[in-house]
């Protein structure tokens, strides 16, 4: 079975889903910022309260883009994990004895599930991860960011901050909101 085909198909679907889902919110923000219908500020000067027109609508659209991006990132990370599990399971048995291989996974000493698979593929199967199309740093940041999205939820906001370990390991990471980082905050941003 061509497991890579299924992984690539799933990743293409996630990209298409993200693009389709965020498009109306990106357009709403653009219309608000351009003062175009239906978001034309028709307030009289004496009605101006100091807030930009349509602030609530803009914020809702921005929050929607953030949530869709976060959800898609979690889908990408889950897809990577499922792919590695399938490669070492019965579906991957065309290439190796999956029972022996699965017995090796818990023996690998690493601080994460991804580290164990990395060691397994490198030591037992001769896979050189450095020759892949995605760097090990990027894969690690995907996993760390997924952890942030699941464990650093703030009930007051849809924004998620990177944890201290993640921020220290990757000061400006793949999913760092650079505008917030300049202000000293560790907000996650999926682009």
* Phi, then psi, of 49 in degrees rounded to 5: -105, 5
Confidence (pLDDT) at 1:
77
Dihedral angle over CA of 22, 84, 113, 164, nearest 10: -30
Is pLDDT above 70 for 103? yes
Over the stretch 140-171, which tens digit does the pLDDT of each residue have?
999 999 999 999 998 999 999 998 888 899 98
The DSSP string of 142-153 is HHHHHHHHHH-B
Q: Is 153 within 8 Å of 163 (Cβ atoms)?
A: no
> Cα(150)–Cα(94) distance, rounded to whole angstroms?
35
The domain segmentation of the chain, as residue ranges, is 1-87
pTM for the full model? 0.90
* Phi, then psi, of 110 in degrees rounded to 5: -155, 160
Confidence (pLDDT) at 94:
66
């Amino acid at each position: 079975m061509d497991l890579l085909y299924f992984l690539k198909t799933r990743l293409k679907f996630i990209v298409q889903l993200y693009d389709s889902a965020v498009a109306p919110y990106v357009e709403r923000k653009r219309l608000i910022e351009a003062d175009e219908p239906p978001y034309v500020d028709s307030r009289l000067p004496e009605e101006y309260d100091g807030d930009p027109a349509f602030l609530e609508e803009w914020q809702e659209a921005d929050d929607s883009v953030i949530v869709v991006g976060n959800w898609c990132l979690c889908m990408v990370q889950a897809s990577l994990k499922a792919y590695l599990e399938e490669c070492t399971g019965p579906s991957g048995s065309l290439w190796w004895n999956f029972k022996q291989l699965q017995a090796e996974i818990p023996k690998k000493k690493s601080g994460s599930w991804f580290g164990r698979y990395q060691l397994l593929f490198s030591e037992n199967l001769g896979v050189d991860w450095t020759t892949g199309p995605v760097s090990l740093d990027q894969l690690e940041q995907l996993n760390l960011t997924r952890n942030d999205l699941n464990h650093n939820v703030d009930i007051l906001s849809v924004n998620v901050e990177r944890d201290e370990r993640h921020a220290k390991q990757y000061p400006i990471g793949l999913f760092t909101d650079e505008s917030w980082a300049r202000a000293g905050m560790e907000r996650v941003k999926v682009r």
